[in-house]
Structure 1
Amino acid sequence: MKALHVITGLGVGGAEQQLRLLLGHLPVRCDVVTLANPGPVADGLRSDGVRVTHLGMGGNRDLSALPRLAGLIRAGGYDLVHTHLYRACLYGRLAARLAGVRAVVATEHSLGDTRIEGRRLTAGVRALYLAGERLGRATIAVSPTVAERLRRWGVPGRRVRTIPNGIDASRLRYDAVRRAEAREFYGIPQDAYVVGGLGRLDPGKRFDLLVHALHRLPADVRLLLVGGGRQEEALRRTAHDLGVADRVVLTGERPHLPAPRDHAPALSSLLSAMDVLAAPSAEEAFGLAVLEALAAGLPVLYTTCPAIDDLPAHTAPRARRVTGGIDAYVRELLRLRAAGPGGRAVPDAVRHYSIERTAGQLMDVYTAVLSGSTWK
């Protein structure tokens, strides 16, 4: 089997890093096309031995990308095309059809109740999504919550399969040496209490709530935000205005594994440097950051996380749902700080979402799609 993965971009994001991790566990020859932004994850994929092609798409309405992508699919002799993220799903499904490839799978990574990948869900966005979806054979939802949203939109239930994101817990395991090194790199005192945030710096993630909470927390508390995005400067201004700029560290985008000659701490080291992860986003499709923090043995405070809410409570005893705003997060952070470290045990929820299990479920879908069969 030869498969082509088509993705909108390869910057450091959850879907992008999930693709890299997944390709290391699929027993299939896979190539990747990125429509735009061949960022650090593209470099990582190439270092893994994956062929990555940058299509050079100029924008959402660059229709010249369609025949170029169709030609690439045709020339590559691919048996199956797998698309990821909104723009790539639209162009990838249509290009595969033009190239004569009928075995098309899409993964829906980021469908919320009101937004998709930060884009507001208008009637036009929904209509385009549904039109493109009909050109594929299967749509994979990363959680039962997303699967239900797809069905409510009108995607036939027989075409929807739930396969959660997977993680490689061994890469994220707590390490005391890396904890000290990461804190030293960013100038964080070794005895500070570090609240972490992980994800795209967009308004929907509500990291501004954590900056406001920091203003009301003791002086030994630091905020470590890992990610890049359009809200970065606004967060810096808020921290300055509140007088806590010297207690906030913004690392920018950090991959799971650093690229060659990249000496800044990777994600695993940054998770080790934290004492708690706070995830105040009010709308998540899965909640990968929460699982990654749990794999590092951290306690977690979150507002929405289908990955945890879909499991029995005992599988993640140190993950606590927080309803409310700044006051609620301040109260819970003070409680955890007073309780002390509490160990770094990895909960059962992490094992439930192993990348090996995810890869095996995806292979079942590939086999079904190539044979033309469906599932109940």
Structure 2
Amino acid sequence: MKVLHVITGAETGGSRKHVITLLEQFSKDEVVLALMQEGSFAEEARKKGIRTEVFSQSSRYDLSILKKMVDFIKKEKFDILHTHGPRANLFGIYLKRKTGIRWVTTVHSDPSLDFVKSGVKGKVFTALSMYAVKKMDGYFAVSERFKQNLIKLGIDGDKIQTVYNGIHFTKEKAQPLPRSEFGLTDENFVMAMVARLHPIKGHTIVFEAMKGIEEEKRPHLLLVGDGPIKEELEKEVDRLQLNHYVHFLGFRSDVDQIYAASDLALLASYSESFPLALLEAANQHVPIVTTDVGGVKELVEDGETGWIVPVGSTADYAEALQKAVRCKEAGELTEMGDKLYHFASQRFSLEQLTNSTKYLYKKLIN
């Protein structure tokens, strides 16, 4: 069995981590990673020993690489094409048509929302993306809820394999970054939010919720990630006069250490499949406040290992943050994080991710 994974190579968040972590579990002659640009993604993959081929584009609309990819698939005799993300999925239509290869995808986000706030082009690409998603031979749904969402799109449930995201859970927590690096102390309540700076991630919900908490108890937010709306978010923080409390850290490779230095992990997305960032928080024994998206209910027990709030509700999010602050004051937050770690480490391992992935691959080629 030989599988070609295709993704743009510009990713910095959960989908990048998912792909690299997954491919590390396969032998070097079983998988190849194809990217559309050089950069930190390609560098990281190569350092991990993953065979990485780059089909460079002059722009995201450069389709000249498609023939090169077709020739590569035929020459290397791949059995399966595994695409990740909307652009790779769109290219998959052509690659499937020209090679006849079996084609699967992992849907890392809601395809109907991938191009929000992108104007007319966004509407066109959304239509194309939805078309592509319905043309594949198999699908990985990273939560049971997401499988049901795919079925609602008209996809045959027999083609969908539920495969929970997995990470390597460590026995020991990471060494926390010194809070002094951010001008903070042990007395501060510190939250970490690891998410690309994109409208779908709901950062403004968190900002509004923080604004609703009285200053003397207001948490600090370590914001990890980069993306197209960074300037917009910085202006919103300035408008809400939260500059002292929101710390933009950009892309970081020390997420485990940042979580280990935090009291709480946040997710405020309007849509997700199964957020890998929350598993990374669980590995550091950090409880979670999250919107009710994707498979979060399969990880977080509301009120026991974190809090789950309705999507888009600033008031509910603010209330959850206030509960977390009170729990820390009562000395209860650490126990919640420990309980989350023990549950997550038993259910969301790399072994189950690898086995479920191989199961669908073999089902398609046999």
Pick the TM interval, shorter chain. Answer: 0.7 to 0.9
Tell me which residue corresponds to 2:364: 369
Matched residues in 2 for 1:104 and 1:268: separation?
34
Matched residues in 2 for 1:138 and 1:329: separation?
36
Tell me which residue corresponds to 2:181: 185
Tell me which residue corresponds to 2:304: 317
Q: Which of 334, 342, 351 lines up with 2:334 in the alignment?
A: 342
Match of 1:82, SS?
A: strand
Q: Kindly state the Cα deviation for residue 10 of structure 1 after the two structures are TM-superposed.
A: 4.0
Matched residues in 2 for 1:128 and 1:201: separation?
21
Tell me if the contact between 1:81 and 1:101 (Cα under 8 Å) persists in the aligned partners.
no
Is 1:328 the equivalent of 2:299? no
Is 1:107 the equivalent of 2:106? yes
CA gap 1:41/1:128 in 2 versus in 1, 3 angstroms: closer
Match of 1:104, SS?
A: strand
Match of 1:170, SS?
A: coil
User: Structure 1 length as normaliser, TM-score?
Assistant: 0.84
Matched residues in 2 for 1:336 and 1:312: separation?
14
Match of 2:33, SS?
A: strand
Tell me which residue corresponds to 1:261: none
Is 1:94 the equivalent of 2:94? yes
Paired amino acid for 2:271: E
* Structure 2 counterparts to residues 51-130 of structure 1, below 5 A: 51-98=51-98, 100-111=99-110, 114-116=112-114, 118=116, 122=123, 125-126=126-127, 128-130=129-131
Match of 1:31, SS?
A: strand
- Deviations 1:62-88, CA, capped at 9 Å, x for gaps: 221211211122222323221111111
CA gap 1:64/1:246 in 2 versus in 1, 3 angstroms: same
CA gap 1:127/1:235 in 2 versus in 1, 3 angstroms: closer
Match of 1:204, SS?
A: helix
* Structure 2 counterparts to residues 208-287 of structure 1, below 5 A: 208-215=204-211, 216-219=213-216, 221-255=219-253, 266-287=254-275
Matched residues in 2 for 1:319 and 1:95: separation?
43
Match of 1:83, SS?
A: strand
Aligned CA RMSD, in angstroms, stands at 2.6
Is 1:159 the equivalent of 2:147? no
Matched residues in 1 for 2:2 and 2:94: separation?
19
Matched residues in 2 for 1:285 and 1:104: separation?
20
- Deviations 1:327-364, CA, capped at 9 Å, x for gaps: 33232222221222433411413421111111011111
Match of 2:6, SS?
A: strand
CA gap 1:358/1:93 in 2 versus in 1, 3 angstroms: farther
Matched residues in 2 for 1:139 and 1:101: separation?
17
Tell me if the contact between 2:267 and 2:291 (Cα under 8 Å) persists in the aligned partners.
yes
Q: Kindly state the Cα deviation for residue 239 of structure 1 after the two structures are TM-superposed.
A: 2.2
Tell me which residue corresponds to 2:35: 34
Matched residues in 2 for 1:66 and 1:208: separation?
38
Q: Structure 2: 5+ residue runs without aligned partners?
A: none
Tell me if the contact between 2:108 and 2:272 (Cα under 8 Å) persists in the aligned partners.
no
Match of 2:295, SS?
A: helix
Q: Kindly state the Cα deviation for residue 42 of structure 1 after the two structures are TM-superposed.
A: 1.8
Identity of aligned residues (%): 25
Paired amino acid for 2:18: Q
Match of 2:68, SS?
A: helix
Q: Kindly state the Cα deviation for residue 276 of structure 1 after the two structures are TM-superposed.
A: 0.7
User: Structure 2 length as normaliser, TM-score?
Assistant: 0.86
Matched residues in 1 for 2:164 and 2:305: separation?
21
Which 4+ residue blocks in structure 1 deviate beyond 6 angstroms? Answer: none
Tell me the number of residue pairs that the alignment of Structure 1 and Structure 2 aligns: 352
Match of 1:245, SS?
A: coil
Paired amino acid for 1:218: E
Matched residues in 2 for 1:295 and 1:33: separation?
30
Tell me which residue corresponds to 2:279: 291
Q: Kindly state the Cα deviation for residue 133 of structure 1 after the two structures are TM-superposed.
A: 4.1
Q: Kindly state the Cα deviation for residue 312 of structure 1 after the two structures are TM-superposed.
A: 8.7
Matched residues in 1 for 2:252 and 2:300: separation?
31
Matched residues in 1 for 2:58 and 2:228: separation?
20
Q: Which of 201, 208, 211 lines up with 1:205 in the alignment?
A: 201
Q: Structure 1: 5+ residue runs without aligned partners?
A: 256-265, 372-376
Tell me which residue corresponds to 2:50: 50
* Structure 2 counterparts to residues 168-179 of structure 1, below 5 A: 168-170=168-170, 174-175=173-174, 178-179=175-176
Tell me if the contact between 2:89 and 2:132 (Cα under 8 Å) persists in the aligned partners.
no
Matched residues in 2 for 1:88 and 1:132: separation?
11
* Structure 2 counterparts to residues 3-22 of structure 1, below 5 A: 3-22=3-22
Tell me which residue corresponds to 1:351: 346
